[in-house]
Amino acid sequence: MNKPGVIDREGLNRLIQTLIGRGYQVVGPTVRDEAIVYDNVFSIEDLPAGWTDEQEGGTYRLKKRSDDALFGYTLGPHSWKRFLHPPERRLWQAQKDSLDFDIVPEQPDNTKYAFLGMRSCELHAIAIQDKVFIQSPHTDLHYQSLRQNALFVAVNCGQAGNTCFCVSMQTGPKVEAGYDLVLTEILDDSHHSFLIEAGSEAGKNILEEVKAGPAGAGEIKKAEEIVTNTAKQMGRAMETGNIKELLYENLEHPAWGEIAERCLSCANCTMVCPTCFCSTVEDVTDVAGDHAERWQKWDSCFTMDFSSIHGGAVRNSTQSRYRQWMTHKLASWQDQFDTSGCVGCGRCITWCPVGIDLTREVAVIRESTTCQEENFSGSEAQNENS
Ligand code: SF4
Ligand code: SF4
């Protein structure tokens, strides 16, 4: 949209102050409880300087880097959905008077969030949630209000994690759309700077106030190399060709039973997933029965109650619940929203307590199907020869 500029650490601090000065609540990465989470950020002092993360199936550890990188980690347990689609929120209140009761609806939240440090896969995840909450016949006014006010400051990934597979899902690692500003952190023995580029009028306007210096050809080339190298480091890969048909044709595959022997039905995978959007409602009253409230809370297809209708739960085995989750993510989501429900962030692999890995499970089903086809064509050839 306009020429890239360059800022140093102080320039990044100026960016944060500019956003705060314009009334934004800046949320970005910070270290808490031995993880990098998203929380309010007031200066670069709040960012996870010199920290990185090591991830594997069922494992997440923070580790010190040998440098002072501010965005030198991959992804933590939080995703931005906790701000745009919070884990719990009140929908309305009812107050009893002498003869009747009044319903007091909740007003949409007008907070202006500026999200700092968003990765490409996370921008894709928000685009998917937009389809669910805004571009559908039933607009979620709360989400819509927060989404319209939000400003996105993205960062190109400088390293990939062991559970990342955004390249397979075509969602990263290069930030290409949906951002207001995008940074690439450039760090060597003598320099620590950020290539910064605007992707919207709002971003351009902010960039003018931040006063970035002009980017040289060397810095632009270096930034491109960083993201190209990240793409080569993906810890996981998933073959996505005909994945919808593959899963629909294998609803009775023995792999589902094998996964169920390990799966705890704990719902962690759905809580950390940036695209999972299911919720339930709970009604509460005071002891006197004068005041009632309805709350919306995140729910998960892994709970027994989730599929409960008259007569009991429809999916009453872990096998059926895992199959529902994975086939929805990778297959029926395509029918429903014309996109995959997975952006390859790898959180469900890292934060699964037993390390269940959907890339592996897809590969197991695909491999067995390929073997069956090979055996079938092998026996056909034998028959023809005999
Ligand atoms: S299914 Fe797993 S890898 Fe895919 S977007 Fe959700 S958490 Fe990330
Ligand atoms: S797949 Fe893992 S994270 Fe998801 S419900 Fe089963 S045990 Fe929990």
Q: How confident is the model at residue 160 (pLDDT cuts 50, 70, 90)?
A: very high
DSSP readout, 313-368?
ES--SHHHHHHHHHHIIIIIHHHHHSS-S-----HHHHT-TT---HHHHHHHHHHH
Q: How confident is the model at residue 334 (pLDDT cuts 50, 70, 90)?
A: very high
The protein residue with its alpha carbon nearest to ligand 2, atom 8, reads 266
pLDDT in tens, 278-326: 999 999 999 998 999 999 999 999 998 899 888 888 999 999 999 999 9
pLDDT in tens, 9-22: 999 999 999 999 99
Q: How many other β-carbons are positioned within 10 Å of the β-carbon of residue 145?
A: 16
How confident is the prediction for the chain on average, in pLDDT?
A: 95
- Name 315's Cβ contacts closer than 8 Å, sequence gap at least 6: 301, 306, 307, 321, 324
Give the CA radius of gyration of the chain: 24
Q: In angstroms, rounded to a whole number, what is the distance separating the alpha carbons of residues 271 and 275?
A: 9
The protein residue with its alpha carbon nearest to ligand 1, atom 4, reads 342
Coil, strand or helix at 7: strand
Q: How confident is the model at residue 188 (pLDDT cuts 50, 70, 90)?
A: confident
CB-count burial class (<10 Å; 0-12, 13-18, 19+) for 17: middle
pLDDT in tens, 254-279: 999 999 999 999 999 999 999 999 99
Q: Residue 156: is its pLDDT beyond 90?
A: yes
pLDDT for 375 equals: 65
Q: How confident is the model at residue 382 (pLDDT cuts 50, 70, 90)?
A: low
The pTM of the full predicted model, rounded to 2 decimals, is 0.94
Quick one: which atom of ligand 1 is closest to the CA of 272? 7
pLDDT in tens, 16-47: 999 999 999 999 999 999 999 999 999 999 99
pLDDT for 323 equals: 98
Ligand nearest to the CA of 344: 1
H or E element, residue 127: helix 120-133
Q: Ligand 2: distance of its center to the CA of 299 in Å?
A: 14
Q: Which residue has the tokens 């959180």?
A: 347
Token pair, residue 310, equals 């008259």
H or E element, residue 379: helix 358-385
Q: Ligand 1: distance of its center to the CA of 211 in Å?
A: 37
Average pLDDT on 110-124 reads 98
Q: How confident is the model at residue 189 (pLDDT cuts 50, 70, 90)?
A: confident
Token pair, residue 297, equals 């809370």
Token pair, residue 131, equals 């389809």
Q: How confident is the model at residue 190 (pLDDT cuts 50, 70, 90)?
A: confident
Of 96-105, 141-150, 337-346, the range with the lowest mean pLDDT is 96-105
Q: Ligand 1: distance of its center to the CA of 125 in Å?
A: 9
Tell me how many degrees the CA angle 364-367-368 measures, rounded to the nearest 5. Answer: 85
pLDDT for 384 equals: 58
**What residues form DSSP beta bridges with 255?**
none
Contact criterion met (CB below 8 Å) for 157 and 227:
yes
pLDDT for 266 equals: 97
Average pLDDT on 193-221 reads 96
Exposed e or buried b for every residue in 198-232, given b needs 16+ CB within 10 A?
bbeeebeebbeebebeebeeebbebbeebbeebee
Q: DSSP alpha helices (H): ranges in 196-312?
A: 201-210, 217-231, 243-248, 254-262, 268-272
Q: Ligand 2: distance of its center to the CA of 263 in Å?
A: 5
Mutate to test the pocket of ligand 2, among 256, 269, 315 (most ligand atoms within 8 A of CB): 269
Q: How many other β-carbons are positioned within 10 Å of the β-carbon of residue 257?
A: 14
Average pLDDT on 348-356 reads 98
Q: How confident is the model at residue 383 (pLDDT cuts 50, 70, 90)?
A: low
